[in-house]
Structures are given as structure tokens and as C-alpha cells.
Amino acid sequence: MKKIQDILFKPKSPVALSLFRIGFGLVMIYQFYHIQDYFFNTLIHSTYFIKYDYFEWVTLTSVENLKIIFLIGQIASFFITIGLFYRFSSLLVFFVWCYLFFTDLGHNNNHYYLIAMLLLALVVVNANEWGSIMNLKHKPSFIPQWNYLLFKILIFIVYFYGGLAKLNWDWLSGYPLKYWLAGREELGPYIQGLLEKDFTIYLFSYYGLFFDLVIGFFLFHKKLKYFALLLMIPFHISNHFLWPIGVFPWLSIFMTILFFDKEIAQLIRVTNDSVFSYTHRFKQVTAVLFICFFTFQFLFPFRQYLYEGKTNWHGYGEFFSWRMMLADKQGAVRLRVYDQGDNYLGEVSLEDYINERQLFKMVYVPKNFVPFCHFIEAQIQADDRNKHLGDIKIYVDAFKTINNRPFQRLIEPEIDLTSIEYSIFEKGSYILPFVNDEIKANYNEISDDEFLQFIK
């Protein structure tokens, strides 16, 4: 514990961390602007929202209130950038971001979760020692090294677990990049042809695997971190132009500044000779909290391996585990409704309740069909004209394909999901096992007619 405390409280220049604060505040201003269109023009029209476990109480407010929430988020992000009421602003943005994040699972994204973790870290570190309006007359002091390690280890976890998830047969065989790199007509015929070559596909697959597994170790190495920068820049720039993943590539590149704190301190010498003074008790508590926090961060993603079967299929442990862009998944869903006497009433018009993103996420994590069916049942029974129908039964015809395999049934079609009690941890028996069929080489080989014939 003494050695851990010595590492955590080693004095460091605050300049690199303050630069990160400035840049991250600007990123958040853009991020709020970037996602508001989905909330105002798409999500607000949904009548059903997919809830995160334990966050069922978070509900989407009105458009008028959402406009105020987004404005508060952007103003507080600007305050982070200039260092005005820094900790309060960081905490405020954290709560605003988490509220927007937990309103619905449909817009779940790995880097949205990362942003929440970074905002939480900003609340507790001393990122306003330099370049801050509140400290213009204050000459910066050294800060403890754990302020940097909090961000650095988070970055390491994101990359490393992203690499571990790629250690599967599909990824090593070039899937799904064989599909995702095909048909890039907007890049011109030469680039399109180059991206569709087997050499390019395998280069991207194995480069991505190698990058994720080793980049964290390289960044922590005094000399290899320069090589890591050379690996990182083309990797993330190509990701930006090839995939619609928002600010993540640029945020990832910018975050490397935290690993060059010593070099930046030599360029910008602003600190005085003073060092923050901490009591022994404070150091002990900080060390314990630091260890507990990262023990959780390292162990939580492993829950995906506690379930038998393919995570991409059954979805348990899919989220918050840094499973980033691993597979091409498609699905088709039909909900059949019957009355208590097993008389067929019709199909649920899904677009009346959820949007396309929400439907995709339910296909990704099929246990979410259970509360959805309970919701539909409640909607039907709430109408007095339907009292004579008795208990409503809803059966789900859900089909899914992973990396262009033949479509398979995802949910047992003869089980009434309104009779199933939703469970957070227990894998539902209504989810059918995955059959590892052969991947079809041509992505366009599955025609609409073939699929319609299959589901009959």
C-alpha cells in the first residue's frame, strides 16, 4: 500500500491535464450539438423506451425541457473549457450526459459510456490548475500522479478489452470487414477497389486487433509511446472516414496528450516549487478508492463470459464491455397478438411504438423483448373496449443473422412473452441457441424472397 501511495501521489505538472480539460470541454459542446437532432426529431416520437437495468426510473421529458437540458449541458461544457466553476460544471455535465444516456438504450454507444467515465474523473482531479479563469493569478502547483492515471488506465481498458473481444474466428477470418469495406463508391473507383481486396481486408482486421491489444502498453512505455502515436493517428483518422462513430476517433487521438505530460511540462514551464500537501489518511483513502474503482472497471466486462453461448447472439454482457464494432448483425421481428382464448388479433405495428435504432438494440439484446411485450399487453388492456379479450398473449417471431450467416430464429415462437418474468441476470430459456452456420461469401446473397420463404 505504501508503494501504491508513492506512485499515486508522485508530483506531476498540471499542464497536460489542463490542456485535456480545455479540449474535452470543446468536444462536449460539439457532442451535445451532434446528438440533439436524434432526440428532437426521432426519439421524442417513440412511445416506448428501452430501459437500462436499475435505471427504469429515468424517463424522457418534453421537447421544451430537453432544449433547456441541452443548453445547460453546452454552457457547462464551455465553463469546463475556460475553467469557470470547474468542478461544479463537470458534475453538472456528468449528470446531464448520464440523463440523456439513460433515457433509452436505443442510442447506446461505447464512447457515450466512456464520456460519462471521463466526466466523472474530471470532477475529482485537479484539471484547473493551469489555463483556468478561476486561477489566473494563481501560479500552478504540482498535482498528484493519480490525476493522470485515472484517465490513462481508463484508456488502456477501452483498447485492451476491445482487442480481447476481437479474438474470435469471424474477426480473424476478415468478417465483418469484408462487408463493411465493400461498396464504398463515394470514395471513388480506385479506393473502392483497393478496400475490397483481400489483402486490405485482412490488413484492417489484424491491424485493428494488434492495435487494440498493444496500444495501451505502448502508451505507458517511455519510448514506445512515440511509436504508439504513429500507429494511432492513421488508425483513428481512417476510422473517422470509414465508420459513423462520431467524435470517438478525434477524442482518442487528443487523449494521448495525457501520456506526454512530461514532454509538455518541459515545453510549458509554469509550475512553482510547491506540491499539494495531503494527510496520510487522505492518501490511504484515495489509494483504496482508486483500487476499488479499477477493480470494478477490469472485472465488469468479464460478465459476458459467464453466459454460455455467443454474446453477439444472446446479448448478455453486450453493453459496458467495450465490444466495439465486432459483427454485422441484422434482424427481422414480428409480434403476434392473441386473446385469452387463443384467437389471433393481429400483429403489432412496431413503428407506432419504437424507432429503428431501438428495434436494432432489442435484436442485439433480445431479453428486452420481454418488457416490451408486457408494455404492449398493458396498452391493449388499458382500453375499456378490450376488456372482453382477457389475458393478452404475445408471441415473437424474431430472426437474426450474424456476419451474413443464414437467418436463424432468435426467440422461441411458441412462448408467450407476457407470461415471462423479466430477469436481469438469468439467461432466458426463450432465447434459442445460436447455430454456427457457414458464412455466405457474398453479402448480397440473401434476397428478400429467400428471407420471406425462410420465415414461412
* pLDDT tens digits, one per residue of 13-23: 999 999 999 99
If one compares 244 and 90, the residue with the highest pLDDT of the two is 90
Please tell me the predicted confidence (pLDDT) of residue 439.
79
pLDDT tens, 158-205?
Answer: 999 999 999 999 999 999 999 899 888 888 888 889 998 999 999 999
455 has a pLDDT exceeding 60 = no
pLDDT of residue 442: 63
pLDDT in tens, 295-319: 999 999 999 999 999 999 999 999 9
What digits encode the pLDDT tens for the residues 86-141? 999 999 999 999 999 999 999 999 999 999 999 999 999 999 989 999 887 778 88
pLDDT of res. 26 = 96
- Judge whether residue 243 has pLDDT over 90: no
- The overall average pLDDT reported for the chain is 92
- pLDDT bucket at 273, cuts 50 / 70 / 90: low
* Residue range 318-346, pLDDT digits in tens: 999 999 989 999 888 999 999 999 999 99
pLDDT for 450 = 57
CA-CA-CA-CA torsion sign (37, 41, 47, 48): negative
Task: Tell me: pLDDT of 359 over 70.
Answer: yes
pLDDT value of residue 136: 78
pTM assigned to the model: 0.92
Q: What is the pLDDT of residue 221?
A: 95
**Predicted pLDDT at 150:** 97
Q: What is the pLDDT of residues 430-441, one digit of tens each?
A: 999 999 888 776
- DSSP summary character for residue 416: -
- pLDDT attached to residue 154: 97
- Residues of the chain with pLDDT > 70: what percent? 95
Given pLDDT bands bounded at 50, 70 and 90, which one contains residue 70? very high
Segment 251-274 shows an average pLDDT of: 87
Domain boundaries, given as residue ranges, for the chain: 2-305, 328-455
For residue 49, the model assigns a pLDDT of: 97
More confident residue, 244 or 114: 114
Average pLDDT estimate for 65-82: 97
